Amino acid sequence: MKAPERGALPLRLAATLSRTYGRVTETVHGLSDADFQRPTRCKSMPVGPLLVHLLYDAQRALMAFASPTIAEPDRDFVTYWQDFPPRADESDTSFVRTVASAYRKPGLLVQHWRELSEAAARAAMLGLMEKGRRVETQGHVLRATDFVATLVLEATVHHLDLSLELPGAPEPDPEGLQVTARTLDGLFGPDAWDVIEWDTTTYVLKATGRLPLDDADREMLGPHASRLPLLG
């Protein structure tokens, strides 16, 4: 069964990022101290530290849009992820856990996240208004559209991570899920995703290693199963 046609990236990608960040805010708004200690799908990173990780991603977006470059892009929204290891470094998880513990109340962390994420979404909207804008991040140069797509993927995947033990959490933004799946399609390649029968959310969870492959999955994927996870 051929994977559904996902098409090009959305024209209003900044709006997609804004909604994606907004769903994360809805997920963590009003959580208790105990909720912020609940596990997520990211090993050794409970809800609070994972939100700190996302907060620094929004901060990185602000820095990138405030520092445009004229250098030629060396990555797009798919190839950007080829350099990333399948799992976070232990030093990274230790750092965000320390930062999360420094917030006196979860509400202060949520407020900081909301302010930074909303500012990042506005910066994306303004950045995408300039045709051909390029930004530098993580040692690479991307077109602004490609960069925003990477932010959408990061927030969408971690939204699913956050909601592991938060049963009242909203679903990720549908367009954000499609951008994420479109990226995974590019990493996987048509020879692989032509055989995929998962729905979009399951695709994202299994292709990123959030859910293990069962025997039926391995039979479906054949030799491509060994390539998972595509990213961490």
- CA proximity to 29, closest of 155, 162, 200, 220: 162
| Domain range enclosing 110 | 13-227
Residue 232 domain-assigned?
A: no
CA nearest to 97, candidates 162, 159, 55, 48: 48
Helix (H) or strand (E) holding 161: helix 144-162
Task: Please report whether residue 1 resides in a domain.
Answer: no
Q: What is the pLDDT of residue 89?
A: 63
Number of domains in the chain: 1
- pTM of this prediction exceeds 0.85: yes
The per-residue pLDDT for range 110-147, each reduced to its tens digit, is: 999 999 999 999 999 999 999 999 999 999 999 999 99
* Residue 51 domain flag: yes
For 39-54, how does the pLDDT look when each residue is reduced to its tens digit (9 = 90+)? 999 988 999 999 999 9
In a domain, 3, yes or no: no
| Residue 48 forms part of a structural domain | yes
- Residue 137 in any domain: the answer is yes
Separation CA 40–CA 26 (nearest Å)? 16
pLDDT of 185 higher than 60: yes
Q: Residue 4 domain-assigned?
A: no
Query: Does any domain span residue 118?
Result: yes
Domain containing residue 102: CATH number: 1.20.120.450
